[in-house]
Chains A and B, each alone.
Chain A
Amino acid sequence: MRSAPGNTTLPGARDGLSVWQAIGREALLRFGLIFIALTVVLTLAMVKIDLFDQFYALTREHEDWEFDEMVLALLAALIALAFSALILARMLAVRVSEQVNERLLAEQRLAEGRKLRSMGTLLGGVSHSMNNHLQPIMTLSELMREDLPPDSEAARDLARIRQAAQGACEILRRVLNFSHQGHGVSERCDLPEALQSAAELASAAIPSTVRLELDIDPAAGQVALARVDAEVILLNLVSNAVDALEGRAGVIRIRCAPAPGRPEPGDWVRLTVADSGPGIPEAIQERIFDPFFTTKAVGLGTGLGLSEVYGLVHRAGGHLGVRSAPGEGAEFNIFLPVGHDAAKAPLASME
């Protein structure tokens, strides 16, 4: 699964990779155990097949041969040593390449997280000024309209101005969801309940060729999201899945269940939204959470849906990721801490 870029810092991510770190203590222990076990087994085997006799035959001229078993044991040890060294070398190679991969991935995710955070700051600032500019546009156009005969062209144009301004407000509202600056960290909701009602909303709106399959555990718990935010998350994921199906028949599975200890110790809940669409090309998977990234035609997508999901999930202390292979649909997984109280930190830091 490709994790969405995270906010968490990675301990030691920037250190060089030492060989000993890579091998690890437990690998050394395993090496020792394999070595001892092999030695014992080989010794017993050699004694059993009377290798000594054959040695004895070879060394018949030496009458005072006393350490037969010991010699065999030494031989066994040498063979065992060679074997375990081979196994260790293999293990080491696999380990190192795994760890290098892991670190590269983690560093990449960290860099992506940083990128998304600075985008959030930037867009938060932009939204602030825009909201202030929109206030007089909305208020004055409305006041002017009151002065005009309702069916005059000017009044209708003013209504259009207001409509355009409202479109801008809607975009800003979504951008704020992304940039962690929207409403409600102190709020909570019962996730299964919110999902259930959002799924009902969604099922009324999706084409009849698309089947919604719900598997929502009512005991999944409370999360640090306003109810409307939980709905925004689900509706965005479902509408993406519907879009991906492009009018073909298909299934969208919504699962919500407790996920104790995943991805970190503690109580978590996992929300999965999976579809039977064409999947997401590997090449764009790392960009789908970027604000304004869209593959849809102008007017059909703004590219804000997954950014909103990203922002809301992170604000609630959660993680998310996507798994998708071409032709096999896309699966979004969201992990949220149950009963997480994210409200205190940001407020305290403002004092």
Chain B
Amino acid sequence: MARVLLVDDDEMVRYALAKALRRAGHEVREAASGAGVLEQLRSDAIDILVTDLVMPDEEGIGLIRELRAAGEGLPIVAISGGGRVSGEQYLRMASRLGASATLAKPFDHRELIELIDRLAKNADR
């Protein structure tokens, strides 16, 4: 079981993914934007962050950069549906900035669950 923080501005996406993750036995917190995520990571015990990359107020890219700059070492999974620039380019950039894994929407939620299991296991060691 991992404690996952799921950040996506799309409520339906959040609902669906959170449901899938909970079913797989994970504990899920949700956030609609990147604002306040850093504080939340400090106050709540979070194992893994799953964040969308193109959000209106705080773009996920900025969030990843900020977290890594602040020394947060937790695993980050970046998800993106493509955007103004290439979705895949965003994903690549995210991994360059320190995202542990990336997924292009729409993906099979089982892939996300597998990823999270693997990342959680690695983090344990």
Contact = CB atoms under 8 A, between A and B. Distances in A.
B63 to A, nearest CB: 15
Contacts of B36: none
A136 B109 contact: no
A132 B105 contact: yes
Contact of A135 (B84, B92, B106): B106
Contact of A136 (B12, B87, B93): B12
B93 A347 contact: yes
A132 B17 CA distance: 12
A136 B105 contact: no
Interface in B78-125: 81-90, 92-93, 104-109
Contacts of B54: 128
Contacts, number: 93
B91 to A, nearest CB: 8
B13 interface: yes
B87 A181 contact: yes
A176 B105 contact: no
Given A135-B13, A347-B93, A350-B93, A180 B86 contact: yes
Given A182-B88, A186-B92, A124 B82 contact: yes
A77 interface: no
B105 A135 contact: yes
A185 B17 CA distance: 29
Contact of B86 (A131, A137, A139, A346): A346
Nearest to A127: B82
A22 interface: no
Nearest to A183: B88
A143 B69 CA distance: 37
A134 interface: yes
Interface in A133-174: 133-140, 142-143, 146, 165, 169
B85 A181 contact: yes
A131 B20 contact: no
Contacts of B12: 133, 135-136
B46 to A, nearest CB: 22
A247 interface: no
A124 B90 CA distance: 14
B23 interface: yes
Nearest to A166: B106
Given A132-B10, A135-B16, A140-B19, A346 B85 contact: yes
Interface in B2-45: 10, 12-13, 15-17, 19-20, 23
Interface in B45-88: 54, 81-88
A181 B105 CA distance: 13
Contacts of A303: none
Nearest to B91: A183
Nearest to A315: B86
Given A124-B82, A128-B83, A131-B82, A142 B109 contact: yes
Contact of B105 (A134, A182, A347): A134
A349 B85 CA distance: 10
Contacts of B109: 138-139, 142-143
10 contacts: A124-B82, A128-B81, A131-B87, A136-B15, A138-B106, A142-B108, A146-B23, A181-B89, A182-B88, A346-B89
Interface of B: 10, 12-13, 15-17, 19-20, 23, 54, 81-90, 92-93, 104-109
Interface of A: 124-125, 127-140, 142-143, 146, 165, 169, 176, 180-186, 346-347, 349-350
Given A346-B85, A350-B89, 16 more contacts: A124-B84, A128-B54, A128-B83, A128-B87, A131-B82, A131-B106, A132-B81, A132-B105, A135-B13, A135-B107, A138-B108, A138-B109, A139-B106, A143-B109, A169-B106, A183-B88
